[in-house]
Chain A
Amino acid sequence: MDVMQQLDGVFAALSDPTRRSILARLAKGEATVMELAEPFEMTQPAISRHLKVLETAGLILRRAEGTKRPCRLAGDGVDAIEQWLAMLHKALARNYDRLDAVLADVKPAKKRSKQ
């Protein structure tokens, strides 16, 4: 899928507070629709519709277990955190390399002129 389309789907999925709460619950582990519906004043079909949106966005996975279809966070979600951290690392490294050069200029203005 195109990256832009994928992000659009993720944003749409995350725009709803119920779906964000569902993701927070799934971060603690796998859960059934019934378990997920419990904290909300919503019918199971309503929760199922939210789950469908999350599944389409690639944020959750569902497996068959008898008549139940337990949900869990998609592995991609976990990978995304690691990739985000790697990106942050790279971005900070670039900023701080720049800062090294700025500091070299700052030092001569101080008492110590030693490099």
Chain B
Amino acid sequence: MSLTLHTEGDTIIVVTRRFAAPPKALFRAHTEPELIQRWLLGPDGWTMPVCICEARPHGKFRYEWVNGKGAGFHVTGEFLELEPYRRIVHVERMHLPDPTPENHVETTFDPDGDGTAMTVRMNLPDTATRARMLATGMARGMEASYLRLEARDDFDMLGER
């Protein structure tokens, strides 16, 4: 199904996507570690060996990704609001390895026929953060091939720095 992504003003990105499953299944897939680890992975070859997710208001989460070749990074965050099964508000920061500015994210799951219309509103990172994400080659599933570095040895080395 198709995903839409647009910016609002200078600072907000809005992502929408429809799913065939009901809101409860979406909510679970965003809050239960054994489900999160199966899809929030980014480019092929990356896995999430550490997934800690305290799905309650003020609960913390920590996701760690590795590519099996020595490169990796992690995200930490806190849940601000959890409204089963329709809304999640959290803050997160990437560690590349220095922490990026905090990203505020609101995720909503609205019933849509038999399925769910999901909307994600998040901050647009600043220029410096975007550059660091590009250099890491992966952040929230960044596509390494954008830089056409996949075939290069120095790409993986960069991630290890």
Contact A95–B147 (Cβ < 8 Å): no
* Structural contact, A87 and B142, CB atoms closer than 8 A: yes
Interface size on B, residues (CB 8 A): 43
Question: With A14-B128, A99-B19, A110-B25 in contact, is A88–B40 under 8 Å at CB?
Answer: no
Size category, A interface: 35 or more
Residues on A with beta carbons closer than 8 Å to the beta carbon of B130: 80-81, 84
A-B contact count (CB 8 A): 106
B26-64 near A? 1/0 per residue, CB < 8 Å: 101100000100111111000000000000000000000
> Across the interface, do A88 and B21 meet the contact criterion of CB distance under 8 Å?
no
In the complex, what residue of chain A is closest to B120 when comparing beta carbons? A92
Partner of B3, one of A3, A81, A89, A102: A89
Q: Which residues of B contact A43 (CB under 8 A)?
A: none
> Chain B contacts of A7 at CB under 8 A?
131, 134-135
Q: Shortest distance in angstroms between B112's beta carbon and chain A's nearest beta carbon?
A: 14
Instruction: Please determine whether A23 and B127 come into contact, CB atoms closer than 8 angstroms.
Output: yes
Q: Find chain A residues with CB under 8 A from B39 CB.
A: 95-96, 98-99, 101-102
Per-residue CB proximity of B116-135 to A under 8 Å, as 1/0? Answer: 00000000100110111111
| Pair A99/B41 contact, Cβ less than 8 Å | no
Determine the chain B residues whose CB is within 8 A of the CB of A20 once the complex forms. Answer: 128
* Pair B128/A3 contact, Cβ less than 8 Å: no
B149 to chain A, nearest CB (A): 7
Q: Which residues of A contact B69 (CB under 8 A)?
A: none
Task: Please state if B127 and A98 are interface contacts (CB–CB under 8 Å).
Answer: no
For B32, give the chain A residue with the smallest CB separation.
A106
Whether B29 pairs with A103 at a CB distance below 8 angstroms is yes
Chain A 62-115 residues near chain B, CB threshold 8 A: 77, 80-81, 83-96, 98-104, 106-107, 110, 112, 114-115
Interface, chain B (partner A; CB < 8 A)? 1, 3, 5, 7, 13, 15, 17, 19-22, 24-26, 28-29, 35, 38-43, 114, 124, 127-128, 130-135, 140-143, 146-149, 154, 158
7 A-B residue pairs with Cβ-Cβ distance under 8 Å, sorted by A, are A81-B124, A85-B5, A92-B5, A95-B42, A95-B141, A100-B19, A103-B21
Task: A3-B148, A84-B134, A95-B140 are known; give 4 further A-B pairs, CB within 8 A.
Answer: A91-B141, A103-B20, A107-B25, A110-B25
